[in-house]
A = this chain, B = another copy of it.
Amino acid sequence: MTSDRTVDLGFARLDADRAVRTGTPEVVFAAGKTPAETVACLAGLLAAGVRPAWATRVDDTTAAAIRERWPEAVVGGQARCAVVGPLPDPVGEVLVLTAGTSDGPVAAEVVATLAACGVGARRVDDVGVAGIHRVLAVVPDLAAADAVVVVAGMDGALPSVVAGLTDRLVVAVPTSVGYGAAFEGLAALLTMLTACAPGVLVVNIDNGFGAGVAAARIVRSSSGGPPAQR
């Protein structure tokens, strides 16, 4: 296990070689960190050669701090991400579906993650099963994609239907959209875990980042190339 450089910032120990080992660099989880800490982590990763360096769950204050330090960074927006450094050229295409408009921020995090991983994305919103013809309309898109990410809250039923219409791997992201018995995404999570169609793989509630990393790994695996990031 030779790929194990650690950058010690005192309050954080950056895993500088994670991309060498896993194809994806350590990414800064900004929730629970001060803006200064997030900036320091990004700077540490950049100093260690990670390109791009990247943070998720970036609030407005932290976004401002990042923009001040790196004016060229791509920061904020619906995806609440910050990316410092050039994006890789995109390879392949992941189809990102949402069941409803309110699932948008999570889908945006998926797309931003794919971009940072060097993978292309095509996003189609508001494909809920209550209007099943909207799902059937994306069957050609399914066939054209390298992998599919389905983002859904409330009943979380969309991945079950999609997985019965494609031979692509379906990564399902439950969201906390809904109220009452949606229990902050628990209902959608359980639905996806018990999907009657096999080939559905599930990530944590609202975890667009994890879904993006996984989908990128699938695309890179099928395109046969080496991991994009060092």
A residues apposed to B, CB below 8 Å: 1, 4, 6, 10-15, 18, 21-24, 26-27, 29, 31-33, 37, 41, 99-102, 104, 124-137, 139, 146-147, 154-157, 160-161, 163-169, 171, 174, 176-207, 209-210, 213-214, 217-218, 220-222, 224, 227
> Chain B contacts of A12 at CB under 8 A?
101, 125-126
Complex CA–CA separation, A205 to B183 (angstroms): 10
Residues A128 and B196 in contact, CB atoms below 8 Å apart: yes
Show 8 residue pairs from A and B whose CB-CB distance is below 8 angstroms, ordered by the A residue: A1-B165, A21-B164, A32-B101, A132-B132, A157-B191, A169-B221, A180-B193, A193-B204
- Specify the chain B residue showing the minimal Cβ separation from A104: B11
Number of copies: 8
Knowing A6-B134, A27-B198, A165-B22, the reply to whether A190 touches B193 (Cβ < 8 A) is no
- Specify the chain B residue showing the minimal Cβ separation from A207: B180
> Chain B contacts of A199 at CB under 8 A?
22-24, 210, 213-214, 217
Interface centre among A11, A129, A130, A169 (most CB of B within 10 A): A130
Residues A194 and B221 in contact, CB atoms below 8 Å apart: no
